[in-house]
Amino acid sequence: MEIVIYNNGMENKYSNKYLIETGIGLQDVDKLKNSSYFLNESNRYIKGEISLDELDRIINSYYKSKPSTNRSEEADKIAVKISKCISDDSFTFTVGQLLSIHKTLFENVFEHAGKLRSYNFIKKEWVLDGESVTYGDFHELESTLQYDFELERNFKYKNLSIDQIINHLANFIANLWQIHVFEEGNTRTVAVFFIKYLRSLGFDVTNDVFAKNAWYFRNALVRANYNNFIKGIFEDKTYLIKFLRNLLLNEKNELSNKELHIGSINDKENSKESRVLKYIETNPYIKTDDLASLLGISVRTIKSVLKTLVVNKTIVRVNGKRYGYWKITKRHYLSEDEMKSIKLN
């Protein structure tokens, strides 16, 4: 099934403030800062004094006469391009669309705009104390992409609860990002693609979650794809799920980058019990099958973990097995430091 949506070409379907602030906010995934000149001119756009096309021309003209010695030029130009891209609802759920978005955003900025990377690399991550996620092998990029897209295209969302949908979307976007298709600009491209895909599924996605939490989004993707069994660290999608629940359901979960840093994680906190607790804290109605899928362990093991938590009076079941939910109690067996990382009801 190919998902295609066309709008009527009207730029003002989305608020100027949402468009430009999302464009600016997404520069934070690479810790880029927009120039004061751009912020002043973009404020004119927000006020409706100029159009996005006019803002684009103004910024390009500015850098022709005053080349940047830092990456503010990249930040300014890409912020406008992101704003223009998400102002348009036209979309196809294909690998070609992902490549096209990268080319649209980074043409005349990167020589490799719209092209698959041709070498392997690592990226030192602050959130991992300088370690790197293992990214996709460049020899397999195209086939891996096609495989993931085919899986998602054939996935059946019908009859799923909103919690199950969000959990699945977290898996999909984490897997897509991990491939790391491009030499640079991966997270910004994936974010724009994801925004447009979510709209095609009927989600509004017009709040300020990306604008204010783009750095958290990137770090959540990192944590969703990092394992270090020796250190007792496992890939963890709870952070990404919290971000998506804020984005899609307008929840107000706290999104703190500090909690994502592996240095703040205690070995016990990475036990199966504590990982289950974090998912329950994010979504008290989460199903056993979903916990098993997210944690990559069997349903039988999940049931054993839940039984242990109940016996230790760490959680209780409210309103029965079928329609009820889990509640984390204050009678908790973890240490005081570990308890700080889990919001107790």
**What are the residue ranges spanned by the domains of the chain?**
4-265, 266-345
From CA 332, how far away is CA 315, in angstroms rounded? 8
From CA 335, how far away is CA 333, in angstroms rounded? 7
- The number of CA neighbours under 13 Å toward the Cβ of 151 is 13
From CA 99, how far away is CA 190, in angstroms rounded? 10
Residue 239 in contact with residue 259, Cβ under 8 Å?
yes
From CA 208, how far away is CA 291, in angstroms rounded? 29
Among all chains, which residue has been given the structure tokens 């993931």? 148
What tens-digit pLDDT sequence spans the chain (345 residues)? Answer: 333 333 334 445 899 999 999 999 999 999 999 999 999 999 999 999 999 999 999 999 999 988 777 799 999 999 999 999 999 999 999 999 999 999 999 998 999 999 999 999 999 999 999 999 999 999 999 999 999 999 999 999 999 999 999 999 999 999 999 999 999 999 999 999 999 999 999 999 999 999 999 999 999 999 999 999 888 888 999 999 999 999 999 999 999 999 899 876 544 445 778 888 888 988 999 989 888 888 878 888 888 889 888 877 889 999 888 788 999 884 443 444 444 443 332
From CA 329, how far away is CA 331, in angstroms rounded? 5
Q: 266-345 in CATH: which number?
A: 1.10.10.10
CATH for 4-265, options being 1.10.3290.10, 3.40.1390.20, 3.40.50.2020, 1.20.1440.230:
1.10.3290.10
How many residues are listed for the chain in this entry? 345
Residue 183 in contact with residue 112, Cβ under 8 Å?
yes
| pLDDT tens by residue, 160-190 | 999 999 999 999 999 999 999 999 999 999 9
Distance of CA 110 to the CA centre of its chain: 23
Would you state the structure tokens that stand for residue 119, as one six-digit string? Answer: 């070498």
Burial of 64 (0-12, 13-18, 19+ CB in 10 A): exposed
User: Looking only at Cα atoms, what is the longest distance across the chain?
Assistant: 70
